[in-house]
Amino acid sequence: MRLNKFLSSTGIAARRKCDTLIFSGKVRVNGKIVYNPGIKVDDNDVITVNEKVVKAKKKFDYIVLNKPRGYITTMSDEKGRKKVIDLIDTDKKVYPVGRLDTNSMGVLLFTNDGDLTYRLLHPGYGVWKIYRVKLHRPFKDTDINILKKGIKLKTGDAVSGNVKIVSPDKKEIEIKIKEGKKHLIKLMMEKLGYFVKSLDRIKFGNIEKTGLARGQWRFLKKSEIIQLKKLVKL
């Protein structure tokens, strides 16, 4: 098994972060610092990160949280702000899968399965996310086709999304996208002349927040985990 894949399987971090740990010289294999994420390792090797031995995790944990406003998606914060991890009352060491902005709400996944996290966030696997968006003015029918065809943002990214209007006053829409970059939906709406008043992720892949009040969480069902892994070919 490749070293970076082994490290992600321990739940330390997603694979890209594991690459960073390796490149920075914090990983040793049998006492020797290695800088190659692709080096092959097996059960007979002793692997340490920051001088601590790490072992492959046999059982992973999977959680969904209905994120409320006002919480940041980080594990620690020097400013003492409220963190999403503070809402997860468990002794399981899990990490958020991607981010939701402080004032955004909805489905936020947590796991210590680094390989799954990597694939869920990698654009190559194309996992759909659905958001409920409230706007400051009615959404134009003509903009539905514009978004479907794709628009170019000021960041240089070309993005597209499937949109449907879900309120009589046309100020609420649902948008389905595969990309997951920071502030993406706000940038898309801004490009079309809209201001986002609220953003609520209602679905990530096959996972929904049905039955969860804001701030509540639960472990994923076995059937949900199986389906989620199928989406990313695990």
Return the amino acid letter for 17. Answer: K
Query: Sign of the CA dihedral 159, 100, 210, 136?
Result: negative
**C-beta of residue 203 within 8 angstroms of C-beta of residue 75:** no
Radius of gyration, CA atoms only, the chain: 20
| Residue 87 backbone phi and psi in degrees, to 5 | -85, -15
**What's the CA gap between 109 and 96, in Å, rounded?**
6
Nearest to 202 by CA among 227, 228, 173, 230: 173
> Tokens for 93?
């060491």
Among all chains, which residue has been given the structure tokens 């492959």? 56
> Tokens for 15?
């694979």
Which residues have C-beta within 8 Å of that of residue 86, sequence separation ≥ 6?
71
Catalytic sites, residue numbers: 101
Q: 162 has which bridge partners?
A: 176
Task: Find the Cα–Cα–Cα–Cα dihedral 102, 18, 208, 173, rounded to 10°.
Answer: 50
